[in-house]
């Protein structure tokens, strides 16, 4: 284990005997089907996919400011006690060689200890009445009737609803954001799969990535699936046909972008609005524009001060992608993040990948560095917006020696989506100025 990763596990993770870190659901996941877990305040982790791992390890320098920082690999085990309580625990790997993900995980990822005992806790419903969820969200019952021990009908309604509003009580809004329907669904599905495979395999490799939401009190997150094509070169004919159909039936084909998930805080009515990928697929061009308007609206007014820095980041990203020869970012997403409840004081310092609104002056104050050189959390250092590319499980380029297809030139589908997104947000900015 590298010294940097060891420092990260000690500084950020919830301590666990034997150098382990207890993982928790990541409450701000709004899209994707892979389970994202919270490793620490500034770090998340997700199942390691060799192609995505290769992308992060060979990332072109000009793309680094537009992607989450890669922080390493850990081994995650699915553990339980005699009472049936479950935990996901991350342990350091003995090594991180180039072909590590192709080995039998059980040969090099033995956990350093067994889990401690927990009292039998139930998961709780999506709602502010639950004061203990933040403490118990990483514990899960093994029994089938306890995995979703709260009201099943309510749970199913929340996960099936394509647009959901969650009312918040006045006061500490941050403490009431326990999870969202999509992150909960992904987490439970992943736990169920791990449970079913537990007899055959109980060691999984996860990659550690920068948590792009950690600086924000109430993160508003927009997940956009980019490009006119979503299937990878290695997709089966069935998968290829399915992805082509989804693109043709959504805004992906016409404008190269579709909504994949959204979480936005509307401060005036005091509620969170969630929108999932199933709703995003149904949106027409007019509906997509309306959804973007909703994302930048706080229930009282359009947050027009966010539009200029978002556009600036998108144009910078377009220029960087136009310089990326042979890359294809099939099925990758674009995240736009801002704070729905920003600090009242003006925010001046900028951070890697973030953009200030109307403040371009550098800060006179030195920021205290945390793990990996990131500034420690501070209300004075929160950027106004962040725009990043994520999800590279189907990315390819000529440097990937095993790929049978080598593409030439730019990823025109992704760039086409960026150009249309820039046009739509520019129109929004022009109308807000009228």
Query: What integer pLDDT is reported at residue 95 of this predicted model?
Result: 57
For residue range 47-91, list pLDDT tens digits in order. Answer: 999 999 999 999 989 899 999 999 999 999 877 655 676 788 899
Q: What 8-state DSSP symbol labels residue 213?
A: T
The string of pLDDT tens digits covering residues 165-175 is 888 776 666 66
Q: Is residue 330 part of a domain?
A: yes
Q: Does 181 or 389 have the greater pLDDT score? A: 389
Distance CA 80, CA 87 (A): 6
Average pLDDT over every residue of 283-307: 96
What's the number of domains the chain is made of? 1
- The Cα 139–Cα 133 span in angstroms is 10
Instruction: Report if residue 371 sits inside a domain.
Output: no
Domain assignment present for residue 120? The answer is no
Short-list 287, 276, 275, 223, CA closest to 250: 287
Per residue, the 3-state secondary structure of 361-389, as one string, reads: CCCCCCCCECHHHCECCCHHHCCCEEEEE
User: Is residue 364 one of the residues assigned to a domain?
Assistant: no
239 within 8 A of 231, measured Cβ to Cβ: yes
Domain range holding 409?
3-104+162-342+381-431
Helix (H, G, I), strand (E, B) or coil at 83: coil
Q: Give the per-residue pLDDT at 20.
A: 86
Determine, yes or no, domain membership for 150. no
pLDDT in the model for residue 377: 39
Contact 207, 50 (CB under 8 A): no
Q: How far apart are CA 92 and CA 221, in angstroms?
A: 30
- Band (398; pLDDT cuts 50, 70, 90): confident
Confidence of residue 106 (pLDDT cuts 50, 70, 90): very low
Is the predicted pLDDT of residue 392 greater than 90, yes or no? yes
Give, for 160, the enclosing helix (H) or strand (E). helix 152-160
> Does residue 67 form part of some domain?
yes
Q: pLDDT value at position 253?
A: 96
What is the rounded average pLDDT for all residues in the chain? 76
Whether 240 maps to a domain, the answer reads: yes
Q: What is the pLDDT of residue 139?
A: 35
CA distance 327 to 60: 10
- Identify the weakest region by mean pLDDT among 40-49, 327-336, 397-406: 397-406
Residue 85 is predicted with a pLDDT of: 65
Give me the percent of the chain exceeding a pLDDT of 90: 46
Mean pLDDT for 213-225 is 94
Q: Average pLDDT, stretch 176-192?
A: 72
Look up the CATH number of the domain holding residue 8: 3.30.470.160
Q: What is the pLDDT of residues 202-218, one digit of tens each?
A: 788 999 999 999 999 99
The span from the CA of 49 to the CA of 71, in Å, is 15
- Distance from C-alpha of 392 to C-alpha of 414, rounded to nearest angstrom: 13
Most confident listed range (167-181, 258-272, 286-300) = 286-300
For residue 252, being part of any structural domain is answered with: yes
Read off the tokens for 61. 């320098």
Higher pLDDT, 415 or 185: 415
Per-residue model confidence (pLDDT) at position 107: 31
How far apart CA 183 and CA 177 sit, in angstroms, is 12
- Which of 41-50, 141-150, 196-205 reaches the highest mean pLDDT? 41-50
Per-residue pLDDT, 1: 62
- Among residues 71, 73, 63, which one has the least CA distance to residue 43? 71
What is the C-alpha to C-alpha distance for residues 351 and 320, in angstroms, rounded to an integer?
19
Which of 428, 373, 376, 416 is CA-nearest to residue 253? 416
Across 29-33, 73-77, 271-275, 290-294, the highest mean pLDDT is recorded for: 290-294
pTM summary value = 0.75
Average pLDDT of the segment spanning 280-293: 96
Biggest CA-to-CA distance, the chain: 65
**pLDDT above 70 for 266:** yes
184 against 278, higher pLDDT? 278
pLDDT digits (tens, 9 = 90+) for 324-380: 999 999 999 999 999 998 876 554 444 555 666 544 433 333 434 333 333 333 444
Residue 10 or residue 275, greater confidence: 275
State how far the Cα of 150 lies from the Cα of 157, in Å rounded to an integer. 13
- Average pLDDT of the residues in 15-43: 83
């Amino acid at each position: 284990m590298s010294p940097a990763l060891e420092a990260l596990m000690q500084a950020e993770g919830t301590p666990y005997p034997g150098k382990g870190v207890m993982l928790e659901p990541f409450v701000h996941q709004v899209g994707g089907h892979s389970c994202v877990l919270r490793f620490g305040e500034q770090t998340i982790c997700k199942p390691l996919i060799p192609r995505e791992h290769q992308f992060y390890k060979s990332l072109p320098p000009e793309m680094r400011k537009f992607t989450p920082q890669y922080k390493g690999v850990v081994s995650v085990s699915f553990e339980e006690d005699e009472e049936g309580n479950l935990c996901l625990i991350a342990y350091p790997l003995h090594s991180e060689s180039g072909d590590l993900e192709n080995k039998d995980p059980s040969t090099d990822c033995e956990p350093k200890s067994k889990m401690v005992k927990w009292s039998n806790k139930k998961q709780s419903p999506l709602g502010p009445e639950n004061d203990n969820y933040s403490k118990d969200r990483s514990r899960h019952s093994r029994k089938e009737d306890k995995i979703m021990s709260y009201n099943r009908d309510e749970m199913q309604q929340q996960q099936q609803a394509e647009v959901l509003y969650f009312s918040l009580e006045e006061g500490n809004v941050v403490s009431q954001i326990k999870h969202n329907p999509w992150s909960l669904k992904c987490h439970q599905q992943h736990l169920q799969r791990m449970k079913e495979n537990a007899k055959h395999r109980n060691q999984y490799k996860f990659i550690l990535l920068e948590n792009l939401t950690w600086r924000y009190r109430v993160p508003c997150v927009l997940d956009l699936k980019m490009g006119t094509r979503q299937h990878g070169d290695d997709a089966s004919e069935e998968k290829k046909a399915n992805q082509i159909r989804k693109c043709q039936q959504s805004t992906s084909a016409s404008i190269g972008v579709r909504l994949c998930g959204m979480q936005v805080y509307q401060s005036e009515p005091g509620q969170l609005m969630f929108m999932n990928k199933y709703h995003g697929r149904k949106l027409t061009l007019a509906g997509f524009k309306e959804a973007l308007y909703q994302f930048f609206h706080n229930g009282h007014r359009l947050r027009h001060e966010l539009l200029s820095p978002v556009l600036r980041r998108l144009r910078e990203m377009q220029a960087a992608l136009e310089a990326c020869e042979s890359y294809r970012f099939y099925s990758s997403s674009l995240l736009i993040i801002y704070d729905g409840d920003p600090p009242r004081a003006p925010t001046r310092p900028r951070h890697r990948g973030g953009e200030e609104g109307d403040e371009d002056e550098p800060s006179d104050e030195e920021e205290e560095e945390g793990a990996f050189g990131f500034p420690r959390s501070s209300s004075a250092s929160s950027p106004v917006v962040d725009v990043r590319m994520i999800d590279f499980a189907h990315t390819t380029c000529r440097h990937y020696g095993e790929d049978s297809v080598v593409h030439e030139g730019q990823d025109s589908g992704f760039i086409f989506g960026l150009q249309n997104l820039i046009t739509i947000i520019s129109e929004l900015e022009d109308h807000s100025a009228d």
